[in-house]
Homo-oligomer: A and B are copies of this chain.
Amino acid sequence: MEVLQKTPLCRFVDACLRGCGQVMFQNNALTGFLFFVGIFYNSWQLGVCAVLGTAASTLTAMALGADKGLIKNGLFGFNGTLAGIALPFYFVFSPDLLIYVVLNAALTTVIMSALANFLGKWGMPALTAPFVLATWILMFCASKFGFLQAGSLLSISIPDPHATVEIGSLSVMTFMDGITKGIGEVMFEDSMVTGIIFIIAIAVNSRISALFAIFGSLIGLVTALVMQSPEAPLRLGLYGYNSVLCAIAMGGLFYYLNWKTFLYATFCMIIGSIAQASISVLLAPIGMPSLTWPFVIVTWMFMFASHDFEHIAAVPAAVLGTPEHNLKHP
């Protein structure tokens, strides 16, 4: 990808592609490109907003004078990607909404830098918290403003703990759909094909990460299954996507892969799936979604915790690479 470093525009495109790749922790322009392909395959509106969001958050970082190394590696892009997709996913698409996409993406850059400053004291990453916080601030207000036309996915419910849960019938498709869509839903893509494209895209950069993505989606689904979730959300991958992100982060990326860290990562994925249900319940009275907050808080907990766990060996931030790279440089 030497060509991508030739001109300022090329470098900007490279940063945006890496930014999209960083949604799943892949610092690789080709991965990012394939992610965009997967998104456009499912919906051109989501695709346009993904590109616009990535570009807007990256440009904002450049305009504000953020660290050039971070920008180059796409670390001011991935929250913009997600911030871009989330809006047309939950609200009726219109040209006006594109302005809001830019605003949301720009805000993720501010929050990214704020969290980098805050969490830097512990050497912790911001993960997708900037995306979640910015998007919550910009979407909770929907009932107050005519500008935002809520789509069918937003609806209020009172989550009665005594509610009877109808499970419905499981089939092979519950798993086939659930696992692939669990990976797709990381970027709001309710599509099996897109999920498969995402797996390939990750594998381009790291086959271990791709395997962990699949494993995380499976663990998330199985956890919710054991907890006796209805079949519908399982099949939609709703209990998978947070665990997918937990799995990629904890599986050989921030930790040296061995059976102890593998079990630790699996524990994290299980809690990520349960937290998805719990955060959804917390926001149900205002009809708002959990986004990737379950992943963020659970992974923060597990990463903050490991600092004092002798048996859980974290990779020092300075030498972080792909799981394959980390394995070769223990």
Q: How far is the CB of A256 from chain B (nearest CB, A)?
A: 14
Q: Are B159 and A113 in contact (CB under 8 A)?
A: no
Segment with Cβ contacts to B, from A175-183, A296-304, A322-330: A296-304
The size class of the interface chain A forms with chain B is 35 or more
Q: Which residues of B contact A136 (CB under 8 A)?
A: 278
Q: Are A228 and B147 in contact (CB under 8 A)?
A: yes
- Tell whether A4 is near chain B: CB-to-CB under 8 Å: no
Q: Are B65 and A146 in contact (CB under 8 A)?
A: no
| Alpha-carbon distance between A123 and B305 when the two chains are bound, in angstroms | 16
- Tell whether A308 is near chain B: CB-to-CB under 8 Å: yes
Instruction: Assess A304 versus B167: contact at CB under 8 Å? Given A64-B311, A227-B141.
Output: no
Q: Which residues of B contact A306 (CB under 8 A)?
A: 113
Of residues A63, A114, A150, which shows the largest number of chain B Cβ atoms within 10 Å of its Cβ?
A114
- Tell whether A6 is near chain B: CB-to-CB under 8 Å: no
- Tell whether A160 is near chain B: CB-to-CB under 8 Å: yes
Q: Are B107 and A271 in contact (CB under 8 A)?
A: yes
Q: Which residues of B contact A67 (CB under 8 A)?
A: 308
- Tell whether A270 is near chain B: CB-to-CB under 8 Å: yes
Q: Which residues of B contact A281 (CB under 8 A)?
A: 140-144, 286
Instruction: Assess A140 versus B282: contact at CB under 8 Å? Given A146-B167, A287-B161.
Output: yes
| Alpha-carbon distance between A64 and B164 when the two chains are bound, in angstroms | 38
Q: How far is the CB of A261 from chain B (nearest CB, A)?
A: 10
The interface bits of chain A over 139-174 (1 if a CB of B lies within 8 angstroms of the residue's CB, else 0) are: 111111111101000111011111111010000000
Q: Which residues of B contact A115 (CB under 8 A)?
A: 304
| Alpha-carbon distance between A301 and B67 when the two chains are bound, in angstroms | 17
Q: How far is the CB of A186 from chain B (nearest CB, A)?
A: 20
Which residue of chain B has its CB nearest to the CB of A276? B141
Partner of A228 from B133, B146, B226 at Cβ < 8 Å: B146
Q: Are A117 and B304 in contact (CB under 8 A)?
A: yes
Q: Are B270 and A305 in contact (CB under 8 A)?
A: no
Q: Which residues of B contact A114 (CB under 8 A)?
A: 300-305
Q: Which residues of B contact A310 (CB under 8 A)?
A: 64-66
Instruction: Assess A165 versus B146: contact at CB under 8 Å? Given A110-B301, A300-B114.
Output: yes
- Tell whether A39 is near chain B: CB-to-CB under 8 Å: no
- Tell whether A45 is near chain B: CB-to-CB under 8 Å: no
Q: Which residues of B contact A156 (CB under 8 A)?
A: 158-161
Q: Are B121 and A143 in contact (CB under 8 A)?
A: no
- Tell whether A307 is near chain B: CB-to-CB under 8 Å: yes
A–B Cβ pairs within 8 angstroms, 19 of them = A106-B267, A110-B267, A113-B305, A113-B308, A118-B304, A121-B122, A133-B301, A137-B278, A138-B274, A138-B278, A140-B282, A143-B159, A143-B160, A143-B162, A144-B280, A146-B164, A146-B227, A150-B161, A285-B285
